[in-house]
Chain A
Amino acid sequence: MTEIPKESKVDPRITKKLREIVGEKNATAAKHIRYAYSYDMSFVKPKLPDYVVMAETVEQIQELMRFANLEKIPVIPYTAGTNIGGLCIPERGGILLDLKKMNKIIKIDAESHYAVIEPGVSHGQLAEALYAHKLRFGWPVGPPSASVSSCAINHGIGGLNARYGLNSQEITSMEVVLPTGELVRVGSCAIVEDAWHSTLPLPKLDGLFKGWLGGTGIVTKLGISVHPIPPFLKVFTVSCDNVEDMYSYMLNLSNYEICDDLTAVSWWLAQVPIPYPYREKPDGQPEWFSFANTNSFTQKEKEAREEIWEMVVDEEKNKGTSLKVTQYPEEALRARTQLPSQIVGSTKNYCKMAGAGISWPGTFTPANKWAPVYTEWKKVLIGHNLSPSVRMSMYRGVHYGMLRAMIPFNKQSVDETENARRAIVECLKIDLDHGGIPYKPPVDFGNEINKRAHPGYLMLLRRVKQMLDPNDIMNPGKLAI
């Protein structure tokens, strides 16, 4: 049997006021509309919002926040709900604020290389607009219809992370409505209305709204850096028989900083789709594949990158590792290099076999802990009859990066969902104990983070949250503090 969200209380007076703010058609308490926002693909239990509102202007959001703050009603910002962490599932009911109608690309400054977007702008939409200027951004390996800004403000990871950093590092300015309704700006646009190029050298107040899971305000405009598309693409693909050898190769190659994306995936993640339940890897197949995307402006630059890569491969082979130059499975390679991708977007390569459910222990972990953590994860996941479908990506100029296991499950079954949840939380604890930190964490993860947190950190977190959101109405409960 599947999990059914519990009914909530709806007050017609509130619905009426919400309609006054955003218009008759844009606010509702209808059960069927609320139901469609009560769940996502993650293991997080479904919960109903009490109202759903679609805002179209910044002024509407301000008025809504003033009202919600007065009435102490929770507000949950939502763009596409694809965060894989139940982050838009209301912990305490309230108003689900759907921002997809605010989808204007306000500006593309092709000379200064930044764009200004509203929260509803999707990866697919921005990719099209930027391409007209031969520009690009770090597209995640996720749904093309999801929001660029929601990805960036929650420390999302795109396909240019090894070259330019995480998507949150690309943020250049922000306009935000505070939980109390005031409109604020951070970065250059705070000083000069139309200047969206940088958060520096001002105090980095953008940190007040990044990584807070929609808990400190509603971002209404976002400036982001955008980059030229170098015309020469070369993808280097190798395989290894074990995680240690793959780590050695990635560490070595990342020193030269020649890649846009340097990623390795386990055999299970390289399958389209990920096997569910767990299936043994066939004998003779390598356990790890890596793709290193490089983009160059000239043929000579491309050849120089090739030269470096060949040198690294030779060095690794000389060390006696199992590294082989191989073909990465074709469809899986397309899904990860032709971004945004409909193949991954529609979760074909993740949960087509399992059905409806997917969650992850997605973490930023020191690279020298990848191998030991993977080895332990593998035991836990196989023990729960789940595929150890793990990805490791090296971030820009550093030796830490993404370590995550994409775990599909059959969401129709409460038991199978719970089995996945247990395994994932267990994996998460292992990673935390090795110094990794989860991103876009569901509440279950938040609890584990906070258990280990320095008391001063928790105090500061509470204080900042209290300062910005005195009535704890912004996506309450998600930070697990």
Chain B
Amino acid sequence: MEWKISSLKDLEHYFWRCTACGTCRSAYDFGPPPITRPICPAGTEFGFEGYYSSKGKAAFARGISDGSLTFDDPEFLEAIYKCTVCGGCQNQCQVDYKPHIPEVIEAMRREAVKNGAGPMPAQKNLVQSMKNYNNPYQGPRRVRLDWTRPFKKAKTPIKDINVEPAEVLFYVGCTGAFNKIAQAVPQATARIFQKLGIDFGILGESEVCCGSTAMRVGDAEEFKRVATTNLEAFRTLHSEKGVKTIVTSCAGCFRAIKKDYILSSEYNQMMDGIEVLHTVQYLHRLLKDGKLKFEKQLPWKVTYHDPCHTGRHLNKFRVDKDGSELWEGAYVGVDESECLYDLPREIIKAIPGVSFVEMDRIRGNSYCCGGGGGVMTGFTDWAGKNAGLRIQEGMETGAEKMVSICPFCYFNLTEGSKRIGSAMTLHDLTELIDLALPD
């Protein structure tokens, strides 16, 4: 299987399009009323221009490419990992660098890994764990099924798709499976599926990490290994077990399969006949078809946090490939139709009793929880601190609970809430749905 993963050299033309105008430092909207908010977690924490947004990342990339900056400087190495790859900066930029910003950040990391310097020590453990256990949490394979215990106890076991066929594969993801706090997410998802009588199965112990974390920290080789394994497994499940839909509750896995796996030369062939959906998309369809019917009241005042991976990371950028529209490589426009902005909000609003309030920074300008891009592993303290900022923003709306659709955000924001001594609790949207459905 061939993979088309860009090197920093391939992207040189694009990071040289950055004007250093600094517009990416904050999310600004003319309105009226006008609104300006910080958008870059790294800049907010570390302050110097190099850390700030895509402007700073273009500076680093230029420094690497002209030989001024090298990975043997440990401070520099750290600096390229002190970024959550959230794409908040990308949302502000309007020049031809825009479509390639996260790619440039990750290409620098790939360069660091190639040089034997990257990733950060804690992230190296994570990649090693992927090699050893097929998950980044150093968890033995059998632990992957821990979250299913309540189902066994209740005598409502979940199908093992390796054994029994099912149309829907619920791809759990490593965070939901191994992270004790985030286990609430697959549990709620599975309960909903059971309540709705959906024919679904899981890979159980044989599930392999999607590779997102490896890709985000620059280990393209490890990413390719697991992604290839998964693509092959998906194909087999389709042909042998009748899988037509892969559903995941993990924003990271969803982003990886939708945006990183397509870098494979065989993606179309492997995924032919298989649809990949985030749980929210799957359940929203059922809501529209009248099959998801809420009965119970949920008297909660909630706000919603858009995860980067189900939001702006799913932007589809239109780039003029051959110069027929503007010029070769020109950024032409962005299509946000695949970003999951409206669906979760529509579901939240459909739940009886829920009162919904928005934060200032939402949708494309959502403020990252601080856990992405390997930061939760590499710089745990900063990740929690940043999550506290987001919780604070949520509290300012008067909401008591923050809802999201990513186990990573779920965990990190929970940490953030604890850290600032907030009473705000985190909830995956599936938990709300589960509570509002009849038993």
Contact = CB atoms under 8 A, between A and B. Distances in A.
Contact of B22 (A145, A353, A411): A145
Interface string A332-374: 0000001111110111101111011110000000000000000
B116 interface: no
B23 interface: yes
A54 interface: yes
A92 interface: no
A32 interface: yes
B21 A345 contact: yes
Given A145-B25, A352-B96, A54 B69 contact: no
B94 A342 contact: yes
A32 B75 contact: yes
Given A124-B28, A145-B26, A412-B16, A347 B21 contact: yes
B18 A100 contact: no
B22 A35 contact: no
Nearest to B69: A32
A125 B27 CA distance: 10
B6 interface: no
Given A82-B21, A340-B30, A128 B36 contact: yes
B92 A41 contact: no
Grouping DSSP codes into helix (H, G, I), strand (E, B) and loop, the B interface class, with mixed when no group exceeds half, is: loop
B50 A122 contact: no
| Chain B: interface size category | 35 or more
A54 B26 CA distance: 18
Interface in A17-43: 25-26, 28, 30-33, 35-37, 39-41
B378 interface: no
Interface in B17-37: 17-26, 28-36
Contact of B59 (A35, A127, A411): A35
A359 to B, nearest CB: 11
A171 B76 CA distance: 41
Given A33-B48, A36-B50, A39-B20, A352 B69 contact: no
Contact of A127 (B22, B36, B330): B36
Nearest to A334: B30
B247 to A, nearest CB: 37
Given A98-B49, A124-B34, A348-B95, A143 B22 contact: yes
B30 A31 contact: no
Given A132-B33, A346-B21, A101 B26 contact: no
Contacts of B56: 36
Nearest to A341: B30
Nearest to B98: A346
A356 B17 contact: yes
B48 A54 contact: yes
A98 B95 contact: no
Interface in A110-163: 122, 124-125, 127-128, 131-132, 143-146
A146 B34 contact: no
Contacts of B398: none
B63 A26 contact: no
Interface string A404-429: 00000001100000000000000000
A32 B327 contact: no
B60 interface: yes
Contact of B48 (A28, A39, A80, A341): A28
A100 B16 CA distance: 25
A362 to B, nearest CB: 16
B93 interface: yes
B140 to A, nearest CB: 40
Contact of A356 (B16, B34, B69): B16
B20 A40 contact: yes
B49 A36 contact: yes
A31 B69 contact: yes
A347 B49 contact: no
A417 B94 CA distance: 22
B30 A342 contact: yes
B36 A131 contact: no
B22 A80 contact: yes
Interface in B68-85: 68-69, 73, 75-76, 79
A346 B94 contact: yes
B401 interface: no
A285 interface: no
A51 B50 CA distance: 14
A373 to B, nearest CB: 26
A124 B63 contact: no
Residue from A54, A124, A358 with most neighbouring chain B CB atoms (10 Å):
A124
B47 interface: yes
B67 interface: yes
Given A31-B69, A351-B19, A100 B47 contact: yes
B66 interface: yes
Contact of B75 (A5, A30, A98, A342): A30
B195 to A, nearest CB: 45
Given A144-B28, A343-B94, A98 B47 contact: yes
B51 to A, nearest CB: 8
21 contacts: A2-B62, A30-B76, A31-B68, A31-B73, A35-B59, A36-B48, A36-B50, A36-B59, A80-B22, A98-B47, A124-B34, A339-B30, A341-B30, A342-B28, A342-B30, A343-B94, A345-B23, A346-B19, A346-B94, A348-B95, A351-B95
User: What are the 4 tightest A-B residue pairs by CB atom distance, in nearest-first order?
Assistant: A124-B36, A348-B94, A36-B50, A36-B59
Given A30-B79, A132-B33, A347-B21, 7 more contacts: A33-B50, A101-B47, A125-B36, A131-B34, A345-B23, A346-B95, A348-B95
